[in-house]
Amino acid sequence: MTVETVYLQAAYILRQQHYRETSLLLDVFTYEHGKIALLAKGVRKTKSKTAGLLQPFMPLRLSYLGKSGLKIVTHVEIVPPVIPLQGLALYCGFYINELIGCFLHEHDPHPELFDSYRRCLLKLAQTKHLEAALRQFELELLEHTGYGLQLDGDADGLAIAADKCYRFAKGDGFVADIKGVISGTALLALSNQDFSEPQTLTEAKLLMRMVIDSHLQGKPLKSRAVINQIIKQL
């Protein structure tokens, strides 16, 4: 069987866990190969400097090789600038990492989503408007993984009306409903990526939760629970 070798692949660590005494198992999001699993051997030894690089949200270039299944990391380098996430932004970063882990299949390339992820990390690090950054990423995640929302038209093919209310029906889209919790105004703002109004953000958060939960089929998001707990304490 031919050994596959990949050199200097743009990548971010989504999740890491200890493996045996000195190694790390890594869930990695790469530009050209999508989500993959890698083994970093011996990086937790006392004199190793590599473990400090294999952290979530670090912009990396990774080289790795292997015949099949779990590949072995052979080289790691940082791609400056490194913009650290702090406070609530850090937990928002873990949230988008968890979303990627749930929505992507292994070895399914999504270069456009990789770019969206990188932009979202920069926004989380540089702005106080965390909600807007998350909502935009969620919309782009759905779009790039085949679950995109038609925000300017309803299930009957009619244009979204600002003065109507809508409910989300999985598989159909938005249905005009006087008891619906999403306003046409909010849907039109989202279709234009306009997150400037607080009410739009409030409705967008509700909508994204309904849509994402419908695709996760009841699987809970641990990071979401942590973020909600932190917000309650602020």
CA distances from 195 to 70, 153, 202 (A): 41, 19, 10
What tokens appear for 78 in the block?
Answer: 């940082």
What pLDDT is attached to residue 214? 93
For the chain, how many helices (H) and strands (E)? 6, 8
Chain position carrying tokens 């743009």: 10
For the stretch 89-100, pLDDT in tens is 999 999 999 999
Distance CA 160, CA 127 (A): 31
Whether 78 has a pLDDT exceeding 90, the answer reads yes
> What is the pLDDT, as a whole number, of residue 105?
94
Bridge partners (DSSP) listed for residue 9: 62
pLDDT tens figures, 223-234 = 988 887 777 776
Residue 37: which pLDDT band, with cuts at 50, 70 and 90?
very high
Q: What is the distance between the alpha carbons of residues 103 and 87, in angstroms, rounded to a whole number?
A: 25
Average pLDDT over residues 173-184: 96
Tokens 């952290």 appear where? 55
Strands 34-40 and 71-78: what pairing? parallel
Give residue 234's pLDDT. 61
Please report, to the nearest 10 degrees, the dihedral formed by the alpha carbons of residues 24, 30, 34, 40 taken in order. -20
- Name the 3-class secondary structure at 172: coil
Around Cβ 77, how many Cβ atoms within 10 Å? Answer: 11
Contact in structure between 95 and 221 (CB atoms under 8 Å):
yes
Domains of the chain with bracketed CATH:
4-78 (2.40.50.140), 88-233 (1.20.1440.120)
Residues ≥6 apart with Cβ < 8 Å to 60: 10, 11, 12, 13, 53, 54, 76, 77, 78, 79
Instruction: Say if residue 58's pLDDT is above 90.
Output: yes
pLDDT confidence tier of residue 67, bands split at 50, 70 and 90: confident
DSSP helix, strand, coil percent of the chain (3-state; round to 5) = 35, 25, 35
**Per-residue pLDDT band at 4 (split at 50, 70, 90):** confident
Distance of alpha carbon 80 from alpha carbon 133, whole angstroms: 22
